[in-house]
Structure 1
């Protein structure tokens, strides 16, 4: 058997083995100890409360975190609320892993010529450990977003919009990816996104009284407005660019940092608008939109925790494994980011007194920024096709 074939089979078996071990250990632990390091009970509890018509926000219960998600998410968890937390948590994790791995595999195959999919999925595993272990919804969200990119590359824009809408109903910031993807197909994608969002927001009204649901939406909005962690200890606060600034001695109030977030997001939009005006083809615009969206959400997003860093895993995988046309500094930047990410994963295995001071130094947002720099370099180096006449450009913009 050729050496390349043997190497390929070894990579596939290693990737499968690593993911099977991770999911097996986590699911068994979840069934046996459903209350240990587990966010899932918050979702299941919300499903129970929604079904009973009880308040969701600002209510504290044993083993349950502060519920921050939309009423639609609570409505979707009604079936899980009927299950014991152990088996329900294991099922929730397996569903997230299926979305994450399936969406990422489809994305790599469509956006990356000759992609080593198995190796890429293995590279993403360290950044997924925290979310999978704690029962977070992040794998589901990332899977939906990269699946949206893959569907868009297959010209299935309406379904792609529905995927982004589903992710945004968990946490609103995936709408940033939706706005960037709209540069590739404003009407075809936008209609699917808006329709799916409207349907998702209306779903709770089909299951509960309008008065109850109206109250939930008002409380959800107030809950999101009051979520300010800029003054928290470094290790507890958001792991984003704000923490990097804080460690450099520049403490920016949340009200001012919002301009940084909005400005960097607008810059991503300007890049795509410029590329579209120059005549960049639709598949390239789509690929660039997903890369920029994932990078922005990880470095400048509104709610970046340690587990949220899984958002940049697809970008990290490509930047480590695909050096085609990339400047040497970009690959080195991705490698440096990967080393810092891996160090953080290892640190979390140690007691609080060991890992908290180091995490507080901002090694995770720094790692994300290094990987994002490599991802942005790939976006900016994409060559635009030959210039098209103005009329053709205007026609394309109106499509």
Structure 2
């Protein structure tokens, strides 16, 4: 019965979104026209990153425009429905695989809550057709594939996330900690293929100019001093709204890099300590998505759809009372922003910082998973193997531990 309710919820959710897309103006609450316009620009060999009247800027790498160039002549609504359907299908596949690999002991009722809550939190990306829906689907499927040791598949999914936006490659690097010699070369090959693909379908001079325009856009996209409705929705929004402090872009970037280094260090430490493949991967996915949202280089309100499955998974696992209270508080803040987004002037609520705060409140639950669930991996990470080899070498050469350590 609980599974039936989850199926009914998703059927109603997809029907509602499809109905809205089919019967509303093609540009209403939709970024698909932006992608199609970029595809048409690519076909006409125009600058992808030049402003278009009545449309927002195109912000993705050139390879995304290459994909949409094949769809530029189709009706916007047809493309919009197909694009959302593809993203929803891959998202559900990824959510199911994450539940199977990392939450196998969920009761039917908790599993139903997991899928329903994930649907609520991913609704903004599903509704407006952002690449974030496909991005989170790729991250979920890639992490789940890595949990099964399917390194080529994992690299393909995680590399696809990097094709859509560059910074998700950081998540791929975190996942690669469990098997760097197997995953990093494959991931690098997929990333390079995404860079090379545009050269296979267009004049190299034009492609190079588009990469130059893309890099110029990335270096000049500073919305720090914009009006409140347009400022980034990362952690800095809390400082601006609650404390009246405008954090400079270079400070935000420095904090973002420092947090990423810290996350990478923590994930590597967990691997060295023998936490087990699935625990390390769960930590990578959880902290990686928190970094991409609360500390990401290009965070908007809809970017928090990347946390949908991580947040849903965090609340359905029994935890210590304090951790559970923090986790539920974070999920409530994220869900409240989704529901507030259904009404006009939702930016007034967003700039209060509920989303970055909600993301940060998930961290205790993500970290508690390191000790809450036993490792079940048959094959330990490379760092555990190296540690064991070093221990055996030390024993053979007769290097003894300090007396205090032996006691």
Both proteins in one fold, TM over 0.5: yes
- 8 Å CA contact retained: 1:295, 1:375: no
Q: Indicate yes or no: 2:352 matched with 1:357.
A: no
Aligned residue among 134, 144, 147 for 2:128: 134
Separation in 2 of the partners of 1:394 and 1:255?
42
1:187-198 aligned within 5 A? 187-198=181-192
Unaligned runs of 5+ in 1: 1-8
Q: Indicate yes or no: 2:174 matched with 1:180.
A: yes
Separation in 2 of the partners of 1:359 and 1:389?
46
| CA spacing shift, 1:29–1:357, aligned 2, 3 Å | closer
| CA spacing shift, 1:287–1:347, aligned 2, 3 Å | closer
Figure out how many residues of one structure are paired with residues of the other and give that number.
381
Aligned residue among 236, 240, 245 for 2:239: 245
| CA spacing shift, 1:388–1:263, aligned 2, 3 Å | closer
* Alignment root-mean-square deviation, CA: 2.2
Task: Report the counterpart of residue 51 of structure 2 in structure 1.
Answer: 59
| CA spacing shift, 1:274–1:391, aligned 2, 3 Å | closer
Separation in 2 of the partners of 1:293 and 1:356?
25
Deviations 1:252-272 (A, max 9, x none): 201112111111111111112
User: How far 1:231 sits from its partner (Å)?
Assistant: 1.6
Q: Indicate yes or no: 2:267 matched with 1:272.
A: yes
Q: Which runs of 4+ in 1 moved over 4 A?
A: 380-391
Separation in 1 of the partners of 2:320 and 2:116?
24
SS at the partner of 1:159? helix
1:286-297 aligned within 5 A? 286-297=281-292
Aligned residue among 91, 96, 109 for 1:105: 96
1:27-42 aligned within 5 A? 27-32=18-23, 33-42=25-34
Separation in 2 of the partners of 1:269 and 1:254?
23
Structure 1 range deviating more: 230-239 or 175-184: 230-239
Separation in 1 of the partners of 2:386 and 2:77?
60
User: How far 1:390 sits from its partner (Å)?
Assistant: 6.3
Q: Indicate yes or no: 2:388 matched with 1:392.
A: yes
- 8 Å CA contact retained: 1:144, 1:166: yes
Task: Report the counterpart of residue 3 of structure 1 in structure 2.
Answer: none
| CA spacing shift, 1:391–1:357, aligned 2, 3 Å | closer
User: How far 1:182 sits from its partner (Å)?
Assistant: 1.5
Task: Report the counterpart of residue 35 of structure 2 in structure 1.
Answer: 43
- 8 Å CA contact retained: 1:275, 1:384: no
| CA spacing shift, 1:233–1:330, aligned 2, 3 Å | farther
User: How far 1:44 sits from its partner (Å)?
Assistant: 1.2
1:8-157 aligned within 5 A? 9=1, 11-32=2-23, 33-62=25-54, 64-115=55-106, 116-157=110-151
- TM-score normalised over the length of structure 1: 0.90
- TM-score normalised over the length of structure 2: 0.88
Task: Report the counterpart of residue 224 of structure 1 in structure 2.
Answer: 218
User: How far 1:384 sits from its partner (Å)?
Assistant: 8.1
| CA spacing shift, 1:278–1:49, aligned 2, 3 Å | same
Aligned residue among 342, 357, 363 for 2:335: 342
Deviations 1:177-228 (A, max 9, x none): 0111111010111111101111111111111100110000000011111111
Structure possessing the higher radius of gyration over alpha carbons: 2
Deviations 1:5-36 (A, max 9, x none): xxxx2x22222222222222222222332121
Deviations 1:278-303 (A, max 9, x none): 22322322222112211211211111
